[in-house]
C-alpha cells in the first residue's frame, strides 16, 4: 500500500502544467483532488515517475453564470458544487448529484474536472453532465479547445484528453425544468452499481426534449437514445414511461458487448437496476417539469 517513488512538481498556472506534462510525457500524471490517482498508486496499478500538482490553480475553482451557460472551473470541489446557490436554482440536478459523491471527506477534496478526466464507468457527475449536454474546455500547448462531453468520454477510463492537456472548465447551457438523478449505490464506496439521469422539457402533456444518461452499467456513462426516443414519441402515460425505462440497456442489444460484471453485481442485475433507476428518474423529472 505504499506507492513507488516519484518526482513532485507543483504547477502555478495551467500553461505551466501543460508544459510540464509535455516535458515528461507519459511518465507524468496530474494530481487534482487525488481520490482517483492516489489509491491506484498505492496499489501499484499506476506508477508515474512525475506528479504534477494542480492544487495551486485557484483560478480554476469557480461557478459562474455567463448568460448563455453556467461555467464551472475544473478544480471546483464537489462540496462547492453541492452547496452552490446558483446551481441549486439553475442546475439542481448537478448540485444534488455532487452531494451523492462518496463521503464528506471525498467531497471536500475531489474536483469536478478530476472526476470527468478519470472517466470511471461508475461515476456520478460525468453521467449527470452527459444528461445536461455539457461541454468540456481543454487547454494544451497548442491553445484551448472545446468538445462535447459525449465525445470526450471514449471508453473505460479513456478520454479525448492528450497527455499534455488539462481540463480547465465544464460548461452547461441546457437548463431543463425537469431534472432528476437516481442511483443504486454500492454500500462501501457509494459508487453507483447503476444510476440514471433524466433531463426533460414538457409541453401540453408531451415531452418535447429528453436526455437520459446511464452510469455504472457500461464501460463509460452513455446516452440511452432509445429511451429518449420512446419518451418523446407520444403523450405521457405510466405505460410510456415504463417502456422508455425498459429500453435503458438496449445499447447492448445485438452488439456482442456485455454490461459490466464484477464481485458487486452481475451484468444482468445491473441492467435491471438501470431500468428501475431510469423509471424513477423519468417519473421525478416529468413531475418537476410539469410543476415548473
Domain boundaries along the sequence of the chain? 7-53, 58-172, 178-291
User: Residue 63 in contact with residue 73, Cβ under 8 Å?
Assistant: yes
Pairing outcome for strands 50-53 and 28-31:
parallel
pLDDT at res. 291:
62
User: Is domain 58-172 annotated with CATH 3.40.50.720?
Assistant: no
CATH architecture assigned to 178-291: 2-Layer Sandwich (3.30)
- Rg of the chain over all Cα atoms, to the nearest angstrom: 19
Cα–Cα distance measured from residue 232 to residue 203, given in angstroms and rounded to the nearest whole number? 11
Cα–Cα distance measured from residue 197 to residue 273, given in angstroms and rounded to the nearest whole number? 13
User: Residue 184 in contact with residue 124, Cβ under 8 Å?
Assistant: no
- In this structure, how many other beta carbons lie within 10 angstroms of the beta carbon of residue 66? 9
pLDDT at res. 163:
84
Pairing outcome for strands 70-73 and 166-172:
antiparallel
What counts of helices (H) and strands (E) characterise the chain?
12, 14
Spatial strand order of the sheet with 70-73 comes to 63-65, 70-73, 166-172, 135-140, 143-148
User: Residue 201 in contact with residue 137, Cβ under 8 Å?
Assistant: no
Angle, alpha carbons 241-243-245 (nearest 5°): 70
Three-class secondary structure of residue 279 per DSSP: helix
Report the CATH number of the 7-53 domain.
3.30.43.10
Provide the grid cell at 10.
507543483
pLDDT tens, residue order, the chain (292 aa): 678 888 999 999 888 888 888 888 888 888 887 777 777 788 787 888 898 888 888 899 999 999 899 999 999 999 999 999 999 999 999 999 999 998 888 899 899 999 999 888 999 999 999 999 999 999 998 899 999 999 999 998 899 998 889 999 999 998 899 999 999 999 988 899 999 999 999 998 899 999 999 999 999 999 999 999 999 988 999 999 999 999 999 998 877 788 999 999 999 999 999 999 999 999 999 999 986 5
pLDDT at res. 41:
81
Q: How would you label 88-105 residue by residue, b for 16+ Cβ within 10 Å and e otherwise? A: eebbebbbbbbebbbeee
pLDDT in tens, 99-127: 999 888 889 989 999 999 988 899 999 99
pLDDT in tens, 238-285: 999 999 999 999 998 877 788 999 999 999 999 999 999 999 999 999
Amino acid at each position: 500500500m505504499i506507492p513507488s517513488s516519484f518526482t513532485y512538481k507543483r504547477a502555478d498556472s495551467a500553461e505551466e502544467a501543460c508544459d510540464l506534462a509535455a516535458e515528461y510525457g507519459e511518465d507524468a500524471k496530474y494530481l487534482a483532488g487525488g481520490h482517483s490517482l492516489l489509491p491506484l498508486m498505492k496499489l501499484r496499478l499506476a506508477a508515474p515517475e512525475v506528479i504534477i500538482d494542480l492544487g495551486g490553480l485557484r483560478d480554476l475553482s469557480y461557478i459562474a453564470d455567463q448568460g448563455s451557460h453556467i461555467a464551472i472551473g475544473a478544480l471546483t470541489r464537489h462540496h462547492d458544487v453541492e452547496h452552490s446557490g446558483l446551481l441549486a436554482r439553475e442546475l439542481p440536478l448537478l448540485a444534488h448529484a455532487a452531494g451523492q459523491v462518496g463521503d464528506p471527506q471525498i467531497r471536500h477534496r475531489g474536483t469536478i474536472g478530476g472526476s470527468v478526466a478519470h472517466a470511471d464507468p461508475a461515476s456520478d457527475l460525468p453521467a449527470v453532465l452527459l444528461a445536461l449536454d455539457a461541454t468540456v474546455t481543454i487547454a494544451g500547448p497548442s491553445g484551448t479547445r472545446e468538445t462535447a462531453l459525449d465525445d470526450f468520454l471514449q471508453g473505460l477510463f479513456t478520454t479525448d484528453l492528450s497527455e499534455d492537456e488539462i481540463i480547465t472548465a465544464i460548461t452547461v447551457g441546457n437548463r431543463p425544468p425537469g431534472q432528476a438523478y437516481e442511483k443504486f449505490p454500492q454500500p462501501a464506496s457509494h459508487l453507483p452499481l447503476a444510476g440514471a439521469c433524466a433531463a426533460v422539457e414538457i409541453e401540453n402533456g408531451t415531452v418535447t426534449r429528453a436526455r437520459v444518461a446511464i452510469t455504472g452499467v457500461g464501460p463509460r456513462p452513455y446516452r440511452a437514445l432509445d429511451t429518449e426516443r420512446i419518451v418523446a414519441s407520444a403523450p405521457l402515460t405510466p405505460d410510456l414511461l415504463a417502456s422508455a425505462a425498459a429500453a435503458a440497456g438496449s445499447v447492448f442489444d445485438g452488439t456482442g458487448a456485455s454490461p459490466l460484471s464484477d464481485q458487486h453485481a452481475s451484468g444482468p442485475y445491473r441492467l435491471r437496476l438501470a431500468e428501475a433507476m431510469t423509471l424513477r428518474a423519468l417519473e421525478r423529472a416529468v413531475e418537476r417539469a410539469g410543476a415548473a
